[in-house]
Amino acid sequence: YTFFPGQPRWPAGTETLTYAFDPNENLDDSTKQVFANAFNQWSKVTTITFNETTSYNTADIKIGFYSGDHGDGEAFDGVLGTLAHAFSPTDGRFHLDKAEDWVVNGDVTESSLSNAVDLESVAVHEIGHLLGLGHSSIEEAIMYPTISSRTRKVELEEDDIDGIQNLYGSNPNFNGTTTATSRDRDSSFGVRHV
Amino acid sequence: RFFPDPSSIPTWMSNNAPPGAWDGYRNFTGCSPGKTYDGLSKLKNYFQHFGYIPNSPSSNFNDDFDEALESAIKTYQKNFNLNITGELDNTTMNYIIKPRCGVADIINGTTSMNSGKFNSSNEIHTVQH
């Protein structure tokens, strides 16, 4: 795992971060739930929880879908290419490329559309940036920079967990397991049993 | 566009998927250092955007396969666990055109991805007698 230069993080003592969607989007509940699920992946392993708020201007994390040049100097480039970007703490901006064909639910690997992108997979990655993680060279990690279309990757890997716990500490309820069925991570010795 | 699930994607759309933003980079597969290729400056912009070519105004890029590009490719290959050849081989190009996050891999010249880690080949090995 890596951090941004200077290792920026949310202030010590931060327990809850609020997030809001750009009010111009009018996202439906199922799409919003995808982001809630993505935030929960990180809450499970560390000390910070996330609450949605309708107050966009005061939210810690501001989520929006934009096309092309959207004013932050990081223009989106159309289908595929760059899918999304997020800023390091405590900026809170989380932008996704409106040009993508986002699949909200279901098995994206079964998609007949070669450009289909799994929304939750991208959201989990970008939340890592919002919390202070940079890119990882470990291909299985959520914080690996690339993700192919029609691919789903939402479970944090050991590298992601080590990184975020280095920044904020561990969720006291975290027992080393991020899913009940797919993995069993022994946190005592850093050895993962599958 | 949002699709509630894959089954909601119309067939006509599946059959007419637009090319990805970086698919054109495939044309650079096999390009070699020391030569000039039309449009190679776009690939330099790519590497600059993600932090692999530092301190260069993008408008100044030419189409030469120069040392800066070769060095960027080697650093990229190291970060992505590829064979470090400095060449735009097929495997490297397949990674370059993959969809990705817009956040740079190298920020202000620093990273702790593979390329920023201590190179074990520089270690001094000692043997205790």
DSSP A37-70: HHHHHHHTTBS-EEEE-S-GGG-SEEEEEE-S--
Identify which has the larger pLDDT, B16 or A27: A27
Q: What is the pLDDT, as a whole number, of residue A67?
A: 96
Show which of residues 60-119 on chain A sit within 8 Å of chain B, judged by CB atoms: 74, 76-86, 100-108, 110-117, 119
Nearest CB to B22; choose among A31, A81, A117:
A81
Task: pLDDT tens for chain B, 129 residues: list them.
Answer: 899 999 889 888 888 888 999 999 999 999 999 999 999 999 999 999 999 998 766 668 999 999 999 999 999 999 999 999 999 999 999 999 999 999 999 998 888 788 887 654 444 556 666
What's residue B60's pLDDT?
Answer: 80
ipTM comes to 0.89
Residues 162-191 of A with CB under 8 A from B: none
Question: Which residues have a Cβ under 8 Å from the Cβ of A50 and sit 6 or more positions away?
Answer: A16, A17, A18, A19, A36, A39, A40, A42, A43, A61
Nearest to B4 among A84, A105, A145 (CB): A105
Contact A2 B2 (CB under 8 A): no
Q: What are the tens digits of pLDDT across the range A84-110? A: 999 999 999 999 999 999 999 999 999
DSSP state of A84: E
Angle at A56 between CA A53 and CA A58, to 5 degrees: 85
Residue whose entry in the numeric block shows the structure tokens 């009018």: A26
